[in-house]
Amino acid sequence: MRLMQFAPMTLLLAGFAAQPAFAVLKVGDQAPDFAAEAALGGSPFTFKLSEALAKGPVVLYFYPKAFTTGCTIEANAFAEATPRFRALGATVIGISNDTIETLKRFSVEACRNQFAVAADARSKVIQAYDAASTFSRSMAARVSYVIDGSGRIVFTHDSMSPEGHVTETLKVIERLQARTGQPSSTTAPRPSRPAPP
Residues marked active site are found at 71
Pairwise CA distance, residues 155 & 130, whole Å: 14
Pairing outcome for strands 91-96 and 58-62: parallel
CB 94, CB 162: distance < 8 Å = no
Q: Are 182 and 89 in contact (CB under 8 A)?
A: yes
Cβ contact 115:83 at 8 Å: no
- Give phi and psi for 155, each to the nearest 5: -165, 145
Instruction: Produce one character per residue of 154-172: b if its CB has 16 or more CB atoms within 10 Å, e if not.
Output: bbbbbbbebeebbebbbeb
Beta sheet of 116-119, edge-to-edge order: 43-48, 35-40, 116-119, 91-96, 58-62, 143-147, 153-158
